[in-house]
Structure formats: C-alpha cells, structure tokens
Amino acid sequence: MASKAAQKRLNKEYITMQREPPPFIWAVPDEKNILTWNYLIRGPPDSPFAGGEYHGILLFPAEYPFKPPGIKMFTPSGRFQPDKKICFSMSDFHPGTWNPAWSVATILTGLLSFMLADEMTTGSVTSSDSHKRAFAAKSHSFNLSQARFKEAFPDYCTPTLKDLPNMGERERGKPDTPPNSMRNPCPSTTLATLPTQMIHRRNLGAVPPMIAAAAAPAVGDALTSTNKTPVPQGWAASWRQVIWEKWRWGVLIALAVIVSKLSSSS
C-alpha cells in the first residue's frame, strides 16, 4: 500500500506526464494500484530500435520517492531480457545512488538512454543491430498479443503503430505538432480541469480513480471561468465616440443659435 508521500508524489507525476511527456515515452499508473506504472517507449529514429514499441512496468515501493523502483520490459528488444528486472543507476539495484528528486519521467528517460547504450548489466542481453531492428519490426504485433498490454493501453491496440504524445519533433528541429488523431480538441484542458467522468480514460491511457478524485475539485472553478459571457472588447471606446459626436453637434447648434440672436438684435 502506498504511503501518503508516495500517493501524493505519484498523483503529481501523472499530471506532469499528461502535460509534458518526455520524448518517445508515455506512462500511466495501474487503475487499482498507483505503485505499479505501465510505460511505453518508442524507438528513436536513427537507432536500431526505430519503429519499435516497448512495453514495461515500473514497480514503486511504498516508500517512494525515498526508495527507487524496480523496472522491467516485457517486449523483446534485443537489449533487455523480457520480464526480468533491469539493473541500472535509477533502479532498485542501486538504492545507494538513488535521488528522491528523480521522477517517472527522469527514470524512463534514463532507461531509454541506457537502452541505446551497449553497457552490459543484470537483465540485459547482447545482440546485433540487425537483430534489434528485427525485434522492433515485430514489437507492435507482439504487444497486441499480450493481455497486459491491451489492458494497460487499449487506445494503442490499433492495427498500426499510434504515435505517443511526444515523438521528439521539437528535439529534432521539427514543429512540435501531434498527428490529427492525437490532437486534444481543447488544448488548454489539463487533467485538473476535466470532469471525473471524462478523466477516466481520456485518449492516452487509464487514469486511476484516486487521481481522478484528486483532480475533481478543480472542475467547478474551470466551469465557472469558461462559462462566463465574454465582454466585447472596445465597448467603452464605442460609447465614448457616440458621446463625443452628440456633444460636438450640441455645441455647434448652440453656437448657431447665439450667432442668430446676435445677428437679429443688431
């Protein structure tokens, strides 16, 4: 069972993941246990993993963020042993080097970096680049055959690969615009402003009830601010113009009357 500190921290990290997902990475907590997170990593271009889709889990201890998580990858990659814990500096193999400031995004970015390297450690395997490319080509079909993938990422169970929210376009100097299928029709909407019933699945993954409940109080404020009738811009200027016109004509008429009286008296 998660401690209060772990619950609060992981809730916050999920909201951050929604707003600013790292390049080639996506992760969601399990609906029933916030200490278990499913992640997806997409192989970056110009790497042997290009076109690959890699599913795994992060197993957080109840004492998180003061202790590191265990990390597994299920999808065969040619780099890690499927369903075996991976040893690297941010995993539970190295509690002495763990930094509580590290987050889900930090851990998975570190895992992707470690995946692209050749360092051998517990849970890793050696294979050629051609083997890695072959695994990458088969990765999505493998994931579709796995019940845990389909349960964790139902929106990614499509016949062809579906892009993650951040495919590294900005990092590669390209416009950071997601494909039409991933665009949010309300770009300013975040987890904290969605009604609970809309939060439950969104289009990027399952949201645990405890996170939805934490986000729900913000709904009232969001509806209050979004339902107000906007005040037309420039209305004050328009009224000032009308008053000025009427005042100017009034002055001209008064001057004309005075001139007329002076002329008749003379």
* pLDDT digits 0-9 by tens, 184-214: 333 333 333 333 333 333 334 444 555 555 4
How far is Cα 53 from Cα 145, in angstroms, rounded to an integer?
A: 13
The per-residue pLDDT of the chain, averaged, comes to: 79
Q: Is 157 in the active site? A: no
What average pLDDT score do residues 91-99 get? 95
Domain ranges of the chain: 4-171
Looking at CATH, the fold of the domain delimited by 4-171 is given as: Ubiquitin Conjugating Enzyme (3.10.110)
Q: DSSP string spanning 55-124?
A: EEEEE--TTTTSSPPEEEE-S--SSB-TTSB--STTSTT-GGG--TT--HHHHHHHHHHHHHS----TTB
| Selected catalytic residue, list 15, 87, 157, 182 | 87
Phi and psi torsions of 34, nearest 5° = -70, -15
* pLDDT digits 0-9 by tens, 15-42: 999 999 999 999 999 999 999 999 999 9
The answer to whether the pTM exceeds 0.75 is: no
Confidence of residue 7 (pLDDT cuts 50, 70, 90): very high
